[in-house]
């Protein structure tokens, strides 16, 4: 079983999301299939949880409608990215829901779940309980005002909601009142020793995953509440838990099992999933980003143990660091990054797959940049690999009637070259067995370079006139290596590899056991397909042009109607008070006079651009009817508008003559 972290589909995944998870998992799965392993590759959309619920509320649609749409889009895009899932499902799948409920009933009857009556802060206005981040207040230890329900950001002290001084609802600012509720807890500490030895004794866990997990265990595991007082999610199956749902993280990780189950059910092989989960010989491999480590090395193993069913614990958890975009964090709101739909509108999936694997953040955060993309596509794929293929095939086409030449005798260099290819193959295997995808891809490119050198040194264009048998041997060897490269690259750039391998008579879809093709002698006399250029170079200019096109297309889609515009209540306000916010360089706490609308609070990230005294008494444009939020604990009822030219220096919008506070902006 190969699993990849389940993308959270409140929006579209971006390049960073997929490199650590689905793309890496796909490469591994393709490689293992090629070697004849019995592989099932599963993942799915993670669609429960409050972020999606809130997003749906904001859009005024049911959560299910939102996730139906997003799941459909993402699933289709994954196909276009050539991700070869056996089952890409979703957490709303009936099979998953039933599996999760049965699973938790089982754990419950095994005695690993207890309930606790807790007095929890409850917001009368929002009519909801306020766990973790839904509540803020003053830290009892350091006095920091914007401490959250689970931790104080200023001093790092762990908290619980009842300890906060002067607590308020993080959503609306209302003072919560205590209300009794009951929650179901998973007794995680009881697995401390088992988990510790599991983590310690699993030599395949990468260092980042091991260190992080051991730290958590050393700090002491705490019981985890598995129920939530929300509506969107899987109904908790415990007696008396009506109206509660299972915490999203507790159920999503079980998707690996349920997705396998669902896959084989569809095939009509009801019991086959057991081969992957209950047979101790079967291995389960996970590909995730580093943020997901505890859920895969602690929570998931503990849940599997608690079931008492003898499920295989993760054989290895391959976690990557983060991918940045031009040195910055991917950011939807700031439009930094490339999303998986946009990527495919610009370049073929194989270009992206190759580039992303080449810069896969295996030991540290790495950064995607367009110059890297150009380097990988132009220099590696096109010049080194593509050109080797093309020069070999065209030469055979011109001088050997397009048939693989028959070598009469191989000289020492020919033999050496074939040996080098064999060694590269072995190194490639060594890398991939450890899921060092980046190194594997480098090995392949290195072989292509050596082959280019070999052809140069051998000068078949000269020997074909003087000693044709020598040229035949050279091209035989070159063809052998080209085919080898095609096979080795198949997991990385499947579409291109298929096109290439087809010329050698290997049909697409025969990828299972493709590895055997490496051992076979190259069939002399076999007619090769007509050479066709595999890649096209690109340039910074072309990238910029395509980005502009994307932006244009985006604008067209986003054009809004006059009615929609009129929903904004835009006003001119006078800043009457400015206070810095403890613990933030950027954030300022403003009070803005909106005339008859009253004086409103605003939090604005202007601290790096303006001194407080510059702001006082200024007239500014604000959105007066935006959903109130808390930013770093600062209540914000209106949004101050400013121009952002990308330099990081914002410019406030100010009317060009003095107008009354509260004037409407039309």
Partner RNA sequence: AGCGGGGUGGGGUAGCCAGGUUUAACCCGCGGGGCUCAUAACCCCGAGAUCCGUGGUUCAAAUCCACGCCCCGCUACCA
- Is 476 near RNA (CB under 7 A)? no
Tokens representing residue 296 in the block: 């895969």
What minimum distance in Å lies between the beta carbon of 118 and RNA? 20
Stretch that binds RNA, among 28-36, 66-74, 187-195, 319-327 (CB under 7 A): 319-327
* 273-292: contacts with RNA (CB under 7 A): 289-291
What minimum distance in Å lies between the beta carbon of 14 and RNA? 6
Q: d(Cα 30, Cα 354) in Å, to the nearest integer?
A: 14
Q: d(Cα 558, Cα 555) in Å, to the nearest integer?
A: 5
What minimum distance in Å lies between the beta carbon of 209 and RNA? 10
Task: Please give the C-alpha separations between residue 326 and each of 119, 162, 331, 543, 561, in angstroms, as whole numbers.
Answer: 47, 43, 12, 14, 34
What minimum distance in Å lies between the beta carbon of 323 and RNA? 5
- Is 631 near RNA (CB under 7 A)? yes
Q: Pick from 175, 371, 539, 611: which binds RNA (CB under 7 A)?
A: 371
Please, which residue, 212 or 428, has the CB nearer to RNA?
212
DSSP designation for 17: H
Q: Pick from 59, 406, 456, 526: which binds RNA (CB under 7 A)?
A: 456
What is the per-residue binding string for RNA in 114-153, x denoting contact by CB under 7 A?
Answer: -------------------xx-------------x-xx-x
Q: d(Cα 332, Cα 325) in Å, to the nearest integer?
A: 12
How many other C-beta atoms lie within 10 A of the C-beta of residue 633?
24
- Is 372 near RNA (CB under 7 A)? yes
- Is 15 near RNA (CB under 7 A)? yes
What minimum distance in Å lies between the beta carbon of 53 and RNA? 8
Q: Pick from 117, 166, 207, 563: which binds RNA (CB under 7 A)?
A: 207
What minimum distance in Å lies between the beta carbon of 341 and RNA? 14
Q: d(Cα 537, Cα 390) in Å, to the nearest integer?
A: 14
Q: d(Cα 144, Cα 159) in Å, to the nearest integer?
A: 12
Beta strands 634-636; 629-631: pairing state: antiparallel
Tokens representing residue 514 in the block: 């493709």
Q: d(Cα 136, Cα 10) in Å, to the nearest integer?
A: 25
- Is 51 near RNA (CB under 7 A)? yes
Q: Pick from 6, 330, 476, 504: which binds RNA (CB under 7 A)?
A: 330
- Is 232 near RNA (CB under 7 A)? no
Partnered with residue 367 across adjacent β-strands are 324
Three-state DSSP at 142 gives coil
- Is 625 near RNA (CB under 7 A)? no
Stretch that binds RNA, among 387-395, 508-516, 522-530, 646-654 (CB under 7 A): 387-395
Which residues are CB-neighbours of 357 under 8 A, at least 6 positions away? 19, 23, 24, 27, 437, 438, 441, 492
What minimum distance in Å lies between the beta carbon of 70 and RNA? 12
* 52-111: contacts with RNA (CB under 7 A): 54
- Provide the angle, in degrees to the nearest 10, between the axes of the packed helices 437-458 and 349-358: 110
Three-state DSSP at 616 gives coil
* 393-432: contacts with RNA (CB under 7 A): 394-395, 398
Q: Count residues binding RNA (CB under 7 A).
A: 88
């Amino acid at each position: 079983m190969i699993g990849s972290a389940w993308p959270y589909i409140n929006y579209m995944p971006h390049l960073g999301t997929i490199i650590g998870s689905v793309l890496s998992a796909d490469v591994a799965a393709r490689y293992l299939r090629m070697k004849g392993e019995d592989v099932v590759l599963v993942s799915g959309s993670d669609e429960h949880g409050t972020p999606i619920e809130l997003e749906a509320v904001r859009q005024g649609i049911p959560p299910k409608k939102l996730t139906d749409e997003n799941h459909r889009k993402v699933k289709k895009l994954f196909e276009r990215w050539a991700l070869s899932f056996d089952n890409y499902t979703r957490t709303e799948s009936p099979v998953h829901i039933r599996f999760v409920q049965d699973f938790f009933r089982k754990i419950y009857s095994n005695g690993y779940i207890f309930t606790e009556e807790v007095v929890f802060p409850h917001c009368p206005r929002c009519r909801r309980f306020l766990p973790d981040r839904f509540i803020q207040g003053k830290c009892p230890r350091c006095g920091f005002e914007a401490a959250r329900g689970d931790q104080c950001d200023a001093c790092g002290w762990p908290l619980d909601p009842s300890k906060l001084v002067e607590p308020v609802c993080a959503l609306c600012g209302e003072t919560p009142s205590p209300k009794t509720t009951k929650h179901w807890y998973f007794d995680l500490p009881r697995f401390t020793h088992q988990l510790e030895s599991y983590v310690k004794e699993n030599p395949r866990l990468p260092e980042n995953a091991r260190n992080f997990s051991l730290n958590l265990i050393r700090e002491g595991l705490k019981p985890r509440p598995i129920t939530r007082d929300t509506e969107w999610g899987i109904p908790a199956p415990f007696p008396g838990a009506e109206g509660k749902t299972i915490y999203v993280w507790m159920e999503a990780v079980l998707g690996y099992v349920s997705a396998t189950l669902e896959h084989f059910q569809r095939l009509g092989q009801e019991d086959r999933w057991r081969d992957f989960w209950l047979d101790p010989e079967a291995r389960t491999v996970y590909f995730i980003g580093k943020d997901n480590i505890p859920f895969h090395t602690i929570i998931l193993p503990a849940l599997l143990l608690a079931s008492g069913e003898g499920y295989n614990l993760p054989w290895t958890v391959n976690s990557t660091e983060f991918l940045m975009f031009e040195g910055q964090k991917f950011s939807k709101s700031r439009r930094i990054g490339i999303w998986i739909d946009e990527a495919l509108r610009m370049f073929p999936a194989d270009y992206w797959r190759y580039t992303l694997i080449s810069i896969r953040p295996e030991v540290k955060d790495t950064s995607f940049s367009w110059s890297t993309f150009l380097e990988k596509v132009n220099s590696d794929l096109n010049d080194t690999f593509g050109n080797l293929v093309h020069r070999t095939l065209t030469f055979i086409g011109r001088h050997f009637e397009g048939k693989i030449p028959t070598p009469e005798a191989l000289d020492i260099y020919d033999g050496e070259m074939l040996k080098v290819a064999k060694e590269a193959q072995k190194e490639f295997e060594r890398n991939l067995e450890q899921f060092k995808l980046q190194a594997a891809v480098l090995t392949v490119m290195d072989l292509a370079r050596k082959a280019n050198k070999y052809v140069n040194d051998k000068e078949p264009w000269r020997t074909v006139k003087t000693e044709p048998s020598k040229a035949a041997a050279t091209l035989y060897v070159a063809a052998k290596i080209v085919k080898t490269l095609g096979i080795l690259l198949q997991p990385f750039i499947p579409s291109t590899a298929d096109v290439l391998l087809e010329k050698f008579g290997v049909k697409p879809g025969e990828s299972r056991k493709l590895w055997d093709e490496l051992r076979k002698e190259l069939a002399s006399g076999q007619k090769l397909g007509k050479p066709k250029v595999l890649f096209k170079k690109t340039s910074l200019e072309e990238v910029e042009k395509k980005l502009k096109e994307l932006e244009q297309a985006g604008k067209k889609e986003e054009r809004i109607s006059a009615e929609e515009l009129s929903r904004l209540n835009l006003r001119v306000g006078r800043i009457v008070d400015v206070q810095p916010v403890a613990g933030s360089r950027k954030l300022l706490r403003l009070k803005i006079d909106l005339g008859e609308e009253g004086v409103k609070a605003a939090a604005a990230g202007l601290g790096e651009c303006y001194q407080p005294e510059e702001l006082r008494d200024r007239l500014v444009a604000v959105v007066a009817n935006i959903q109130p939020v808390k930013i770093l604990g600062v209540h914000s009822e209106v949004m101050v508008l400013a121009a952002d030219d990308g330099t990081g220096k914002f410019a406030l919008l100010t009317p060009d003559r003095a107008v009354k506070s509260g004037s409407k902006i039309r």
